[in-house]
Chain A
Amino acid sequence: DTGVSQDPRHKITKRGQNVTFRCDPISEHNRLYWYRQTLGQGPEFLTYFQNEAQLEKSRLLSDRFSAERPKGSFSTLEIQRTEQGDSAMYLCASRQLGRGDHEQYFGPGTRLTVT
């Protein structure tokens, strides 16, 4: 297994544009998390999926944000009408619940810059 992958690695967009990021978790991991990390801060939880079901969203996730995991495998995170405050690293992590493996495996992240 090659680990968690994310695409794109970098995205520069103009304010007001929509962007979509993709995360491919480790195969057969049933839990998938999205986090956001700004400079000098630790990652902050945004949302998580159990298979294809989105079970919780943080207050950080405004209505401009939407996430999907349609087949319980890859996930997408879309930001509509981007704002400069959305500039951050968006990290995806996956985990297999119930296998005794507590680690969350992180992808390399997508760095978003909104100009």
Chain B
Amino acid sequence: GQNIDQPTEMTATEGAIVQINCTYQTSGFNGLFWYQQHAGEAPTFLSYNVLDGLEEKGRFSSFLSRSKGYSYLLLKELQMKDSASYLCAVRGANSGYALNFGKGTSLLVTP
């Protein structure tokens, strides 16, 4: 099975940098994903890591350490529109490579 942990809530200031951590325990690993979800909307894809290291995409970066079962999402130059839930998801080798999601981290960006 999968066990995915991430903080429930975080608050950060506009223009700042925030790091959202995710730890996981899995019986099979085929990639780690980060999705952003605004209230009442569908999750939207942010990043995918399958090898150790940092993937950078604009203001967003994601890091993976498979040996530690650890990932983080780094958001730079925070904007008010970044207030959302951030979902960490692990793709196993079962269930047709379906995603196993954590409960999400609700990020509030304040002025």
Contacts and interface: CB of A to CB of B under 8 A. Distances in A.
Interface of A: 4, 31, 33, 35, 40-45, 48, 50, 55-56, 58, 91, 95, 97, 102-109, 111
Contacts, number: 64
Q: Which 8 A-B pairs have the closest CB atoms?
A: A42-B101, A106-B42, A48-B96, A45-B98, A103-B45, A102-B48, A108-B42, A106-B43
A41 B103 contact: yes
Interface residues of B, number: 26
Nearest to B96: A48
Contact of A102 (B31, B41, B44, B94): B31
Contacts of A41: 103-104
B104 A42 contact: yes
A45 B99 contact: yes
A93 to B, nearest CB: 8
A50 B96 CA distance: 8
Contact of A44 (B94, B101, B104): B101
A108 B50 CA distance: 27
* Interface-centre pick from A4, A44, A50 (highest chain B CB count, 10 A): A44
B103 A42 contact: yes
Contacts of B104: 40-42
Interface string B58-79: 0000000000000000000000
Nearest to B8: A40
A45 B96 CA distance: 10
B87 interface: yes
A52 to B, nearest CB: 14
A103 B57 CA distance: 15
